[in-house]
Amino acid sequence: MIPVYAISTGKIESLQYKDAKPMQSAINKQPFKDQMWLSKLGFVDDEQAYKDHGGPDKAVCCFSKKNYDMYRGDLLDMPEYAMFGENLTIEDLDENVVYFGNQYQLGDAIIEVSEIREPCWKIQAKYGLSDLVKRMSQSGKTGFYCRVIKEGYVSQHHHLELIKEAELDTQLSVQTLNDIYYNDRKNADRIASALKNPYLSSKRYEKLEKMYQRATK
């Protein structure tokens, strides 16, 4: 069992943080009561303000609470959950052991690791840390997204259970892909290897293909 600290959803609202420009966001998520249906598009009461957030390959956003420690020295008030707008605040699940194609039971639902998370300016604006996106990206501790393989009801007391690990010959971790995407964009061999992974989203293939073309010019 992989302990989950909180399962949260949010609604789009107008936000203004210090000197940042006004924005529409559902970043301020809260744990829901009782149970909620997890569909192919995510939790039914969850919303996304940005077109590249959500969708079948980004139905559930996951982040490890242990990674909050990276910012403990910068912030006086640390959130207990959904610090970066994630749906699943997992106690401790390192990106090094999260492989694309891993499947987890969550309540009645089954989810599969499908995408890296690309940190955006909104989380940076919320906490007033000008280098947050850069630090998170370069560290590889970004969290990740899952697609929903089987829809079902999920409750706060449910935790993750690894029911299928990606096949050895396909294993590509979230940490490794993050390192390629953020720190090693000219390494054609590593990009080509990542492109062979059968579990990535179509949009990720497109981005990697463009990276590969630039790296081989």
Domains in the chain: how many in total?
A: 1
Q: Is residue 207 part of a domain?
A: no
Identify the pLDDT of residue 27.
Answer: 77
In a domain, 210, yes or no: no
Q: How far apart are CA 46 and CA 60, in angstroms?
A: 10
Residue-by-residue pLDDT tens, the chain, 217 positions: 999 999 999 888 777 767 667 777 777 899 999 999 999 999 998 877 666 666 899 999 999 999 999 999 888 888 999 999 999 999 999 999 999 999 999 999 999 999 999 988 788 888 888 899 999 999 999 999 999 999 999 999 999 999 999 999 999 999 999 999 999 999 999 999 999 999 999 999 999 999 999 999 8
Q: Which CATH number covers residue 29? A: 2.40.33.20
pTM reported for the whole predicted model: 0.92
Q: Is residue 206 part of a domain?
A: no
Residue 154: the pLDDT is 97
- pLDDT value for 52: 66
CA distances from 193 to 12, 133, 197 (A): 38, 26, 7
| CA-closest candidate to residue 140, choices 67, 190, 212 | 67
In this prediction, residue 200 carries a pLDDT of: 97
CA nearest neighbour of 84 among 1, 6, 190, 176: 6
163 part of a folded domain: yes
For residue 25, tell me if it sits in a domain: yes
